A and B are shown apart, each in its own frame.
Chain A
Amino acid sequence: MLAGLEELRASEDPQEKSLISLVEGFSAAARRQPQTALGHARAILAYGDTLGIGHEYMRWAWPLAARAARDLLDTATAGELLTLLNSYQPGYLPPMLRAERDLARARLAADDGDPAAGTAFAAAVSSLSELSTRYHLGHGLLDYAQYLMHTGDAEGGTAAVREARDTAGRLRCQPLLDRAADLTRAAPPLRTQRA
């Protein structure tokens, strides 16, 4: 799909280089190659001083990097990514990245077995709903669903998956639908409620 873009690939423009990295990063994520996705996302984040953390490619690259680090169970990188965002003055961070930071913190809290993780996830999903895109909200809902299922709340988890699947369907976003399908398959069957 990216064949024949010689001029773009030869460009010194940080925006154009970032665009290529972003496309390759999302392609890798769709092919379930998180290591490659992480590499491309971090290449974009390296332009933070040039483009600014509020730039559109930063807004999409940071969540991509954070998700890839999560998929790789790479908590060191997840921590570095949080440190990167924390290094910016609060007013410089775009709202979308503030919401993504909430989500990344909730994931780390869940990994640490923090009892407040559930509350953190609920708050993060609320932030994503208000401040981010439908695509990122969908992923956040699936993270929350994963957590709920892991902690025994299959009903809550299934509801979150359903909401994410509806969002993905409206966007016609196959990678998000695939992830929702994976979670549905992994979910324990719900007990039928008796009257």
Chain B
Amino acid sequence: MIKMLYKPVGMLVSLVAAAINVLRTDPGTDTVHALGNLAHLEASAGSPDADRLSAEALIFGQALGAGDAELSRLLAARGTYLAGADRHTEAAAYFRESARLASQAGDSMPLGNALSGLADILAGTDPGAAAETARTAAGHLRRVGDRDGLPYATTNLAQALLMLGDWDDAEAELTRSADSNGLADREYLACYGAGWRRCAVMPPPPKPCWRASRSCVPAKTPRKSR
């Protein structure tokens, strides 16, 4: 899933659109920022204006010399629109460039969100790459404490693992994120995990005790953490 900005959509779109009308009289970085937010909102809602707005926001951003972090957000908004339009190769290209610029700017939040969006795109065709990308995204978002973006990166990781058939790992990631990252109150994450257990309702098998078998000895090196 791609992180979306709205809640509720209609009210926010109206507010941002009104702000843009004021800002258009003397466009500057605030105009670009507002346009980017509006583009993201419209793309998230599948609005017919999303194509035009996400392109316009990028044109404004470039023309006004927006910084890398801002351009990264604008590219991600365009990527969100393209993903919803099933133009996945283009969407992936925008998210990759978004991630590159965010990395260049040293801004972990847009970097994590761009990688999370990229993982979402990749999950349908290359779940192995999607899992790796989502894991990296989650790392960035965890570092900056992005409680909005982290659940999406986590579920994108879970989705990639589901596609790979690693159901236990998917469940473990969801549980770990809820427990360790203080996201247990995030309904979206809770619902994803609950839905998950609807499919896989068997309890995990008991862990074998190494003492029970002479052929097994405790590992000398710890397993690589996920």
Give bound CA distance, A20 to B195, whole Å.
8
Fill in one digit per residue for A1-29: 1 if any B CB lies within 8 Å of its CB, else 0. 11011011001111110011011001100
Of chain B, the residue at the smallest CB distance from A94 is B124
Interface presence of A156 (CB below 8 A): no
Q: Which of B84, B168, B204 has the most CB of A within 10 A?
A: B84
Give bound CA distance, A49 to B123, whole Å.
19
Contact for B163 among A14, A51, A133, CB less than 8 A: A133
Contact check, B44 vs A13: say whether CB atoms are below 8 A apart. yes
User: Contacts A20-B191, A56-B123: A172 and B8 contacting too (C-beta < 8 A)?
Assistant: no
Contact check, A27 vs B198: say whether CB atoms are below 8 A apart. yes
Contact for B86 among A14, A54, A134, CB less than 8 A: A54
Fill in one digit per residue for A159-188: 1 if any B CB lies within 8 Å of its CB, else 0. 000000000001111110100000000000
Interface presence of B64 (CB below 8 A): no
Interface presence of A53 (CB below 8 A): yes
Fill in one digit per residue for B133-147: 1 if any A CB lies within 8 Å of its CB, else 0. 000000000000000
Contact check, A135 vs B123: say whether CB atoms are below 8 A apart. no
Of chain B, the residue at the smallest CB distance from A172 is B202
Give bound CA distance, A88 to B165, whole Å.
27
Main secondary structure on B side of the interface with A: helix
Interface presence of B23 (CB below 8 A): no
Contact for B7 among A13, A53, A133, CB less than 8 A: A13
Interface presence of A96 (CB below 8 A): yes
Interface presence of B190 (CB below 8 A): yes
Interface presence of B72 (CB below 8 A): no
Contact check, A1 vs B188: say whether CB atoms are below 8 A apart. no
Q: Which of A12, A14, A175 has the most CB of B within 10 A?
A: A12
User: Contacts A16-B188, A94-B125: A52 and B84 contacting too (C-beta < 8 A)?
Assistant: yes
Fill in one digit per residue for B175-211: 1 if any A CB lies within 8 Å of its CB, else 0. 0000000000001101110110111111011000000
User: Contacts A23-B191, A26-B195, A51-B46: A96 and B124 contacting too (C-beta < 8 A)?
Assistant: yes
Within the complex, what minimum Cβ distance (angstroms) separates A59 from chain B? 6
Main secondary structure on A side of the interface with B: helix
Give bound CA distance, A171 to B163, whole Å.
11
B120 neighbours in A (Cβ, 8 Å): 56
Of chain B, the residue at the smallest CB distance from A52 is B86
Fill in one digit per residue for B102-116: 1 if any A CB lies within 8 Å of its CB, else 0. 000000000000000
Contact for B9 among A12, A59, A170, CB less than 8 A: A12
Of chain A, the residue at the smallest CB distance from B3 is A15
Interface presence of B1 (CB below 8 A): yes
Interface presence of B83 (CB below 8 A): yes
Contact check, A1 vs B194: say whether CB atoms are below 8 A apart. yes
Interface presence of A39 (CB below 8 A): no
Contact check, B7 vs A12: say whether CB atoms are below 8 A apart. yes
Contact check, B167 vs A173: say whether CB atoms are below 8 A apart. yes
Give bound CA distance, A191 to B204, whole Å.
36
7 new A-B contacts at CB < 8 Å, known A11-B7, A30-B199, A135-B199 = A15-B44, A23-B191, A23-B195, A50-B45, A52-B85, A133-B165, A172-B167
Task: Provide 21 A-B residue pairs closer than 8 Å at the C-beta atoms, listed in order of the A residue.
Answer: A8-B187, A11-B8, A14-B46, A19-B191, A23-B194, A26-B195, A30-B199, A50-B45, A50-B84, A52-B84, A52-B85, A56-B1, A94-B124, A95-B125, A133-B165, A134-B165, A135-B165, A171-B167, A172-B168, A173-B167, A174-B201
Q: B residues near A, CB below 8 A?
A: 1-2, 4, 6-10, 44-46, 83-86, 88, 120-121, 123-125, 159, 162-163, 165, 167-168, 187-188, 190-192, 194-195, 197-202, 204-205
Q: A residues near B, CB below 8 A?
A: 1-2, 4-5, 7-8, 11-16, 19-20, 22-23, 26-27, 30, 47, 49-56, 59, 88, 92, 94-96, 133-135, 170-175, 177
